[in-house]
Homo-oligomer: A and B are copies of this chain.
Amino acid sequence: MAEVTLVEVAPRDGIQNEPTILDRAMKQALIGKLVAAGLRRIEVTSFVNPKRVPQMAGAGDLVSALRDDPAMAVAKPSLSALALNLRGAREAIAAGVDEVTYVVVASETFNQRNQGVPIAETLAQWRDVRAAAREAGCMTSLTIAAAFGCPFEGEVDPGRPAAIAAELAAADALPDEIALADTIGVAAPGDVTTRFALLREALPDLPLRAHFHNTRNTGLANAVTAIASGVTALDASVGGFGGCPFAPAATGNVPSEDLTYMLQRMGHLGGIDLDALIATGNWLGEQLGKQPPALLGRAGTFPGNLGKAA
């Protein structure tokens, strides 16, 4: 079975919209638990306006603290940060991330509302982001958000992500990895197959990543379909927390523990301690004062929980 990498996004997408603000020590503890559970790619924060996303305040201090954390020095996870513009990307690079994830939204209205500029301007800034990141030795990934549907414009043309990718290829501005995000959780497996096939046609060799939300219960079905479409990295959020502040109905990233259970059973994923991941999702729920949407924490592993059932 193809090896798949789980990219943990709880410290960013998972908590960004939660009203309970976690302090730096708490965020560092969360990331420490994720690394201890075996995760090696973690989106630790985003460099955005803290007035718009208060949970992400102090992003630079968090990254610096992680850089000084002995546990990180041993496990050497790849720490990424999300940026919506050149300024944010420069701050992330200066703070010392391993990877910069930049975002362009597939629909004009949503890009304008999320980034404050038109798509053309976002893509123009991307070229500078890419150059700055490469100069600093950072990996770059570009996420096409709302690639499966937009909360303002509705359906998104299936060829739209591939068209953006082709535009980047023509400008010699490809990232190291490209991701399609179902930001508001509307995709079904057929949508996944179509979009990734067109994207693969446009970019035969580029590593592909997918970011699904379980808003309409299709998250894991989309994940398994994405793997069949050649995707090699999948975003997930421990506990299944998360959403998007600009898409109010969008709650629930794919829960890392549920995705791990499925992928481990299929032989796609190794090196993760599922019990530690479940414990981390439950711990995060306690910090946020909410029951995690993840189901593994309620049902238990299998056949590990036989004693309980019998």
> Chain B nearest CB: distance from A190 CB in Å?
4
Please, which residue of chain B has its CB at the minimum distance from the CB of A261? B216
Contact flag A215-B309 (CB < 8 Å), given A224-B225, A262-B189: no
Does A295 lie at the interface of the complex (its beta carbon under 8 Å from any beta carbon of B)?
yes
> In the complex, which residue of chain B has the Cβ closest to the Cβ of A263?
B188
Query: Is A217 on the interface with B (CB-CB < 8 A)?
Result: yes
Contact A262 B221 (CB under 8 A): yes
| Min C-beta distance of A20 to chain B, whole Å | 20
How far, in angstroms, from A151 to B308 measured CA to CA in the complex? 9
Give the complex CA separation of A309 and B107 in angstroms.
Answer: 15
| Chain B residues, CB < 8 A from A303 | 149, 154-155, 186
List the B residue with the shortest CB-CB distance to A265. B188
Q: Are A300 and B266 in contact (CB under 8 A)?
A: no
- At the interface, yes or no: A185 with Cβ under 8 Å from chain B? yes
**How many angstroms from the CA of A306 to the CA of B223 in the assembled complex?**
24
The bracket for how many chain A residues form the interface is: 35 or more
Q: Among A4-12, A32-40, A162-170, A246-254, which stretch is in contact with chain B? A: A246-254
Which residue from B215, B221, B266 sits with its C-beta under 8 Å from A295? B215
Q: Give, as a whole number of angstroms, the nearest-CB distance from A180 to chain B.
A: 16
The prevalent SS among residues of A at the interface is mixed
Query: Which residues of chain B come closer than 8 Å to A224, judged between CB atoms?
Result: 189, 221, 224-225
CB of A132 within 8 Å of the partner chain: no
**Contact bitstring A126-165, B, C-beta under 8 A = 1, else 0:** 0000000000000000000000010110110000000000
Q: A197 to chain B: closest CB distance in Å?
A: 15
Q: Is the CB of A255 within 8 A of B217?
A: yes
Interchain CB contact under 8 A, B299 and A251:
yes
- Does A214 lie within 8 Å of B248, measured CB to CB? no
Does the CB pair A310–B152 fall under 8 Å?
yes
Chain B CB within 8 A of A13 CB: no
Given A152-B310, A302-B186, A306-B152, A295 and B262 touching (CB < 8 A)? no
Residues in B neighbouring A152, C-beta threshold 8 A: 306, 309-310
Q: Which residue of B lies closest to A267 (CB)?
A: B190
